[in-house]
Structure 1
Amino acid sequence: MELRLRLRDFCRAQRRLLVLTGAGCSTASGIPAYRDHTGEWRHPQPMRFEEFSRSAAARRRYWARSAAGWTRIATARPNAAHHALARLEGLGRIQAIVTQNVDGLHSKAGSRRVIDLHGRLDRVRCLDCGARSTRAALQDRLRALNPRWRAAGHAGPDGDQQLTDRACDGFQVPDCEHCGGRLKPDVVFFGEAIPRPRLAAALRSLDRADALLVVGSSLMVFSGFRFVRDARQRGLPVAAVTLGRTRADELLDLKLSADCCDALAWLADELDAAALAEA
C-alpha cells in the first residue's frame, strides 16, 4: 500500500503526465505480451521488416497467421487499465499517451490524446504506392481468396495465431488494389524505423510533460526505453507500474510492481476523489 500511496502522490504532484504504455496494459483484454516478467521472449520473435518486404513466402506466412487471429484483435475490448487512463485524461492529469501497442484500445476506451508509436493493426498500407485501407476490408479479401482455409494455433501478441509453416502453405495473399503492390499492416515491424513525424510528435509530448509514467512495459525495446532515458536527461521524474523487470529499473524514481488494471483503477478513484474534494 505504501508504494500505491507514493504513486498517488507522484501523480497528484504532476499536472502534465506523459504516459508510455506497453503490452502489459492489454493482456487483460486477451492480447498476449511479447515477453515474460524477466524480459525474455515468451513467443517466437516477431516478423522483421527486411524479411517481410523481400520474401513472398514470409508475407504469405504473416498474412495466414494474421487471418487466423484477426477476429480476436477486432473484437478485443478495453480493460480497466485503458478506462482508468481515459478517466485520468478527463481529470486533466494526462497530457498525452504514447503507446507501444498496436491494438487501438486506448482510443476505444475514450482517450483522445493518443500517439500510436508503432502504428495500428486495424490499418493496412501498400509498401509500393502508400495507399491505405482498413484491416477489416482486407480480412474480407483474404476470406474470399481462401474460402476453405482453416487453421488453429496458439494466440500470438501481434494479433495472429502461431501456425506452422505447413499450415500456411497454399494461402493466397491479395495485392494492392491500386498498384498491385505488397500489402503490409500499418505497424512498425522490428528492424523498421518509426515514421519521423510520429516520433517527433511523441518527443514534443515529452517536452511538454512534467513527468513520465510507464505502464505495462518492460522497456526492452529501444523505442520505449528512449523515453525514460530522455526524461531523465530532461530532469523529469519517472514512475512505472508494471510486473517484472524493466530495462530502465535503475532510472526509475518509483516502481510499483503490480497488475496495471487494479493499480490504475485505484489511482483513478483516488485522483477523482481528490478532484471532487478540491472543487
Structure 2
Amino acid sequence: MEQLSGLVRRGGVVVLSGAGLSTESGIPDYRGPSGLQRNAAPMTYQTFTGDPVARRRYWARSYLGWRTIATAAPNEGHRAVARLQRGGLVTGVITQNVDGLHQAGGADPVIELHGGLDRVVCLDCGDLTARTALDVRLRAANPSFAALSGGINPDGDVDLTDEQAADFATVGCEGCGGMLKPDVVFFGEQVPMPRVAASFALVEAAAALLVLGSSLTVLSGRRFVIRAAKLGVPIAIVNQGPTKSDELAGVLVDAPLGKTLSQLAELVA
C-alpha cells in the first residue's frame, strides 16, 4: 500500500478496470473466484446475429439478468475511484465493464470500452434507445414468463436452457422492426476504433496506469498495459489472483478491491 499510494499521490493516473471491481456489487467476474460459477459460454456476435433460437435464448436470459444489473449499486471501490478522479489524481477511467457502476459511483468521464447494458442498438437502422424502455416492451410481450435461473453472469444475463426460453417473445426496433442488440461488444466483435484510440491517448499521456480487477487475459484490455510498459509508464495492478501482465507491473496488490481502494483514497486524499 505504501508503494501504491506513493505512485497514485503523484497524480496523472489512468485507471483500467475489469469485472473484478464489480464483484462486491453482486456481479461475478469472468475468471476470478466468482467467475467459476458460470455454466454457459458467453454469447458471440456471430451466433447472436445468425441463430434465431440462440438470440431468443439470449434475450430471455438477459431479460431476467437485467433486473440485477438495473438495481446493482456501486461499491466502495467504485466510489474510491470517483473520489480520486474528483481530487485530480486520476485523469482518466477506462472500463471493460458494461454495468455502468463507475458512473453510478460518481466517476465522469468514463470510456466504456465494451459499451453499456443500459443501451440497446438496432442493427438495421442504428437507432439507440434506453434499455429501460426495452424492458417495458419485453414485460408487456411476456406477461407470464417466469423461468427459474441461476445467478447473474458478468455480461448481465443468467443461465437458461433452450426449453426454458422456448416461449419467450422477442421484440424488434420500434422504428424499423429491425434486430435489436444490447449496445455492448460481444465476443467475436471488434471494439469501435474511436474508443480504442481515445483509450490509447489516455494511456500515452499518463504518469501511471492503475489496473483494477482485471485478469488481463483478453487482449482488448491487456494491450493498454503493453503500451504503457513500452512507453515506460509505471504500472500498478490491484486484483484478486494473478494476471497475464504481472511481470510488467512495478506494484502488485492481491487483495479485495473495495477495502483496498477505499484505504488508498484515504491515504492520498
TM-score normalised over the length of structure 1: 0.93
> 1:17-56 alignment to 2 at 5 Å?
17-37=13-33, 42-56=38-52
- Please give the root-mean-square deviation of Cα atoms over the aligned residues, in Å: 1.5
Distance 1:255 1:194, change over 3 A: same
Which residue of structure 1 aligns with residue 125 of structure 2?
A: 129
Q: Cα offset for 1:163?
A: 1.1
Task: Say if 1:39 and 1:245, in contact at 8 Å, map to a contact too.
Answer: no
AA in 1 matched with 2:158? Q
2:66 is the alignment partner of 1:75? no
Are 2:23 and 2:34, in contact at CA under 8 Å, matched by a contact in 1? no
Cα distance between partner residues in 1 of 2:224 and 2:39: 25
* 2-structure distance, mates of 1:10, 1:242: 17
Q: Find the partner of 1:250 among 227, 247, 252.
A: 247
User: Do residues 58 (structure 1) and 49 (structure 2) align?
Assistant: no
- For 2:197 and 2:246, the matched residues in 1 are separated by 25
Deviation (angstroms), 1:150: 0.7
User: Could you tell me which of 181, 186, 191 is aligned with 1:189?
Assistant: 186
- Runs of 4+ off more than 6 Å: 38-41
Question: Counterparts of 2:125 and 2:31 in 1: how far apart (Å)?
Answer: 34
Cα shift readout 1:175-230 (whole Å, capped 9, x = no counterpart): 11111111000000011000111111111111221110000000111111111101
8 Å CA contact retained: 1:35, 1:42: no
* Cross-structure match for 2:215: 218
- The answer to whether the 8 Å contact 1:17/1:211 transfers is yes
Stretch moving more, 31-40 or 201-210? 31-40
- What number of residue pairs does the alignment pair up? 268
Q: Contact conserved, 1:240 with 1:252, CA < 8 A, in 2?
A: yes
**Structure 1 40/252 Cα, relative in aligned 2: closer, same or farther at 3 Å?**
farther
> SS of the residue aligned with 2:120?
strand
CA contact (8 A) 2:28 2:35 kept: no
Farther off after superposition, 38-47 or 157-166: 38-47
Give matches, 1:60-209, under 5 Å.
60-155=56-151, 156-209=153-206
- Aligned with 1:239 (options 219, 236, 244): 236
- How far apart in 2 are the matches of 1:10 and 1:96? 15
- Within 1, Cα distance between the matches of 2:35 and 2:222? 13
Distance 1:218 1:39 in 2: 11
Correspondence for 1:277: none
Task: Report the 3-state secondary structure (helix = DSSP H, G, I; strand = E; otherwise coil) of the residue aligned with 1:144.
Answer: helix
Q: In the alignment, is the contact (CA less than 8 A) between 1:33 and 1:42 conserved in 2?
A: no
**Aligned residue identity for 1:17:** V
2:35 and 2:140 map into 1 onto residues whose CA distance is 40
Which letter maps to 1:110?
A: G
Residue in 2 that maps onto 1:276: none
Report the counterpart of residue 262 of structure 2 in structure 1. 265
